[in-house]
Chains A and B, each alone.
Chain A
Amino acid sequence: MTRHLDPLVQLLAPALLVVAVGIGSTFVSPSREIYFLNALVSVAMVVSIYVFIGNSGVLSFGQMSFVAVGAFVAGILTIPLESKRGVLPELFPVLRDHTIGNVTSLLLAAAAGGVFALVVGLPLMRLSGLAAGIATFAVLEVTHNILREWTKIGPGATTLSLVPETTDAAQATVGALVVLAAAFAYQRSRLGRRLRASREDPAAARGVGVNVHRERLWAFTVSGALAGFAGALLVHLLGSITTEQVYLELTFLTLAMLVVGGLTSLWGAVVGALVVSALDSFLIEAEQGVDVGVSLDLPQGTRLIFLGAIMALVLIVRPSGLTGGREFRLVR
C-alpha cells in the first residue's frame, strides 16, 4: 500500500464500519434495531468529544453540555405546533410558536452547540490539566441545572416528549458519517495539526508560533457543534428525553468508549463507541434472558458491573486503548 493512500484508508475504515452497522440494522428485528441506531448515535457523540479531547490532550467533562443543548434545541423546535402549547405552556413565545423541520433542527442544534462552546471556551481554554477537568465539569453542572429548572426554555424537570422520531437507519448512518468526515477534515487541516503539535509538546509548539489558546478554542467549538448535532440525532432517535439522560451517566459512558477505543485517534473513537455499544446491548439483552449456547439470565443491574469491570480491565491491560491510539492502517 502506497503511503499517499494512507489518509484515504484512515477515513474509509471507520466510515465503512459505520455503514456496516447501518446496513446491519435493517437485517434485525425492529426491537433490536434500536441497539444499532444507538451505536451510530454513540459514534457521533464520541467522535465529537474526541475532536476536542483527542486532538488537544486536555480532559473535558463538559462536552455532554453541548449534546444536551443540541438535543433540547432540536427537540423543542420540532414538536408539532398543535401539541406544543399544551405540553410546554411556559416557553418563550418564539420557541412556543414556531416549529421547524428535521434537517433544519439538526443544523440549528449544531449551530447552538458551536456557539455555546465558543462562548464557554473563550475563557476556559486558558486552563489545562485538572483545572480544565473541573472547570468543564462545572460547565456541565451549570448547563444541567439551568436546563432542569428554567421552564421558559424547556421542559424543566419533566420529560420532553412528542419529538418526531426521525432518526432512522439512514439518518443515523448519514449523521454519523457527517460527524466522522468533519472530524477527519479538522484533524487533517492546518488547525488540527497545530493543535496536535501542542498536545505532544506545548513548549515546542509555542516555540514555533502556535497559539495554543486559539487552537484549543477552535477544537472546542468544532467539538461543541458536532456534539450539538449528535444531541439532535439522539433526541430524534429517542422521541423523548429528560435532562438526566444527558448528564453524568452518559458522560461516563461516552468517555469510557473513547478511552477504551484509544483517546488519540479517530479510529479509536469509532471502535470504542461500537465495541462498548455492542457490549452494552448484549448485557441489556442478557439481563432479560438470552440464549448463547447456554441460557443466560443475569439479574438487573449486572450491566454496569460488567461494563465497569471490562473498562477497568482494558485500561489496565492496554492503557492506550484497543487501537493503541493510532489511526487505521492496512500494513502495520
Chain B
Amino acid sequence: MILAALDAQTVADAVGLGAVYALMAVGIGLVFGVLRLVNFAYGQLVMAGAYTLAFTAHWRVAWSILACFVVVVALSLAMDRAVFRPLRSSSPAVMLVATFAIAFMLQAVALLVDIRDNTIGEIATSIAPLNQPTTVGGVDIRKITIVAVAVTAVALGLLALLLLRTTMGLHMRAAAADFRTARLLGVRANRVIAFAVLLSGLLAAIVSVMLTVQFPFVGPDFALRDTIVVLVGVVVGGIDRLWTATLGGFAIGFATGVINGALPTEQTVFLPSAVFALVILVLLLRPDGLFTWGRRAGERV
C-alpha cells in the first residue's frame, strides 16, 4: 500500500528532508563528539536563524542570509561560552537538562520579540521562490530539494576534508576519541570545542535557510519538532560516531518524508506511535546504534 502510493516526487522530497536532517545530525554529533553534550537547544539556533530571515525579508537575499549566518553562529558561540563551558565537567544528565533550560528560554525570548506586532509568527518570504518546482527528467522536483541535496553533499564533503586533512580536524577527532588523553598530548580544549561549536552553528544556519524555504511561517517552536526527530535519529543511528549519527539523521528524515507523503492524513494519526515503538525496538536490540558494528552492546563499565 505504501509502495503503491510512492512516486518519484515523494521520494525526491523525502531525500531533501533527509539531507536537511543529516546536516542537523552532524551539527548535534560534532558537539557531542567533543563535549559529550546532547544539545537539545540546537533547534533554537535554527529558529533564531529563521526569525532573522523573516525580519530581514525586505533586505537583499544575500544580505539576509548573511545576517542569518552571523546571528546563528554568534548565538552558538555565546551558548558555548555562557553555558557549555562552565558545565563541561558535569554529568551528561545535568548538561542535557541545562540545554533544555536554554531551549525553553530562547523560545520564550522569541515569543516576546515576535508578539510585539500582536500576532504570533512571522513570514519569511524572500527566498520562498526556491520552493517552486522545476522539471527534471519528466518529474516535478522542487528547486529547494536539489539545493538541499547539493548543499548537504558539499557541506559534508568539506567537513570530511577538514576532519581528515587538517590539524584542527585531527585535534577534533582526537578529542572525540579520548578528550583527556588528547589534552595531555597538547590539544587545546577551548579551541577545539569552540571550533566544533562554530561548525555546528554554521550548519544550523544552513539548516535554517533551507527549512525556512520549505516552511516560511516562522513561530517560536520552529524546528523544535525537527530537533526531537533528529535527536532520536542520531541516537538510533549511533551517536558515538559522526557518520553513524549522520546516517541516522538522514534515515529518519527520509522515512518521515516517505511515510508522510505516501499515507493520507487520516491514516497517519497513530504514525508517531508506530515510529517511536520502532525506535524503542531498535534501541533494545542495538543500544549502541543501528549502524554501529563490531562493538559489544550494553553497558560500558
Interface residues of B in 30-87 (CB under 8 A from A): 38, 83, 86-87
> 7 closest pairs, A vs B, by CB?
A308-B105, A304-B108, A138-B276, A311-B101, A131-B287, A316-B86, A145-B272
In the bound complex, CA of A304 to CA of B103 (Å): 10
B283–A145 touching, CB < 8 Å: no
In the bound complex, CA of A305 to CA of B104 (Å): 7
B38–A305 touching, CB < 8 Å: no
Map CB proximity to B onto A288-332 as digits: 1 under 8 Å, 0 otherwise. 000000000001111111011101100110010000000000000
CB contact under 8 A between A59 and B93, given known A300-B115, A315-B87: yes
Interface residues of B in 204-236 (CB under 8 A from A): 228, 231-232, 235-236
Map CB proximity to A onto B106-126 as digits: 1 under 8 Å, 0 otherwise. 111101100100000000000
* 8 CB < 8 A contacts A-B: A124-B280, A129-B299, A149-B270, A301-B108, A308-B104, A308-B106, A311-B101, A312-B98
In the complex formed, the residue of B with least CB distance to A53 is B93
Least distance between B297 CB and chain A CB atoms (Å) = 10
B100–A252 touching, CB < 8 Å: yes
A135–B104 touching, CB < 8 Å: no
Main secondary structure on chain B at its contact with chain A? helix
New A-B pairs, 19, CB < 8 Å, besides A123-B284, A308-B101, A316-B87: A59-B93, A59-B96, A124-B284, A126-B284, A127-B287, A130-B38, A138-B280, A203-B301, A255-B100, A259-B94, A299-B112, A301-B111, A304-B104, A305-B105, A305-B108, A307-B104, A308-B103, A309-B105, A312-B102
In the bound complex, CA of A137 to CA of B98 (Å): 17
Map CB proximity to B onto A124-154 as digits: 1 under 8 Å, 0 otherwise. 1011111101110111011001100100000
A308–B284 touching, CB < 8 Å: no
A301–B279 touching, CB < 8 Å: no
In the bound complex, CA of A128 to CA of B102 (Å): 25
In the complex formed, the residue of A with least CB distance to B104 is A308
CB contact under 8 A between A308 and B277, given known A130-B92, A134-B236: no
Size of interface on B: residues with Cβ below 8 Å to A: 46
Task: Answer yes or no: B150 CB below 8 A from chain A CBs.
Answer: no
In the bound complex, CA of A149 to CA of B268 (Å): 10
In the bound complex, CA of A309 to CA of B101 (Å): 7
Interface residues of B in 245-277 (CB under 8 A from A): 269-270, 272-273, 276-277
Task: Answer yes or no: A274 CB below 8 A from chain B CBs.
Answer: no
Task: Answer yes or no: A183 CB below 8 A from chain B CBs.
Answer: no
Chain A residues contacting B132 (CB-CB under 8 Å) are none
Chain A residues contacting B91 (CB-CB under 8 Å) are 319
Task: Answer yes or no: B90 CB below 8 A from chain A CBs.
Answer: yes
A141–B276 touching, CB < 8 Å: yes
A127–B284 touching, CB < 8 Å: yes
Least distance between A319 CB and chain B CB atoms (Å) = 5
Task: Answer yes or no: B97 CB below 8 A from chain A CBs.
Answer: yes
Select one of B93, B103, B236, B280 contacting A139, CB under 8 A: B280
Chain B residues contacting A137 (CB-CB under 8 Å) are 228, 232
Interface residues of A in 247-296 (CB under 8 A from B): 249, 252, 255-256, 259, 263
Least distance between B113 CB and chain A CB atoms (Å) = 10
Chain B residues contacting A202 (CB-CB under 8 Å) are 299, 301
Select one of B90, B97, B277 contacting A138, CB under 8 A: B277
Map CB proximity to B onto A189-227 as digits: 1 under 8 Å, 0 otherwise. 000000000000011000000000000000000000000
A308–B115 touching, CB < 8 Å: no
Q: Could you say which of B236, B283, B301 has the most chain A C-beta atoms within 10 Å of its C-beta?
A: B283
Task: Answer yes or no: B239 CB below 8 A from chain A CBs.
Answer: yes
Least distance between A321 CB and chain B CB atoms (Å) = 9
Q: Could you say which of A126, A263, A304 has the most chain B C-beta atoms within 10 Å of its C-beta?
A: A304
- Give the interface size class of chain A: 35 or more
Select one of B98, B112, B301 contacting A302, CB under 8 A: B112
In the bound complex, CA of A145 to CA of B279 (Å): 15
Map CB proximity to B onto A164-205 as digits: 1 under 8 Å, 0 otherwise. 000000000000000000000000000000000000001100
Chain A residues contacting B86 (CB-CB under 8 Å) are 316
In the bound complex, CA of A181 to CA of B221 (Å): 39
In the complex formed, the residue of B with least CB distance to A251 is B100
Select one of B101, B228, B283, B284 contacting A315, CB under 8 A: B101
B102–A145 touching, CB < 8 Å: no
A134–B111 touching, CB < 8 Å: no
In the bound complex, CA of A166 to CA of B236 (Å): 43
In the bound complex, CA of A260 to CA of B182 (Å): 33
B283–A135 touching, CB < 8 Å: yes
B280–A256 touching, CB < 8 Å: no
A301–B102 touching, CB < 8 Å: no
In the bound complex, CA of A203 to CA of B298 (Å): 13
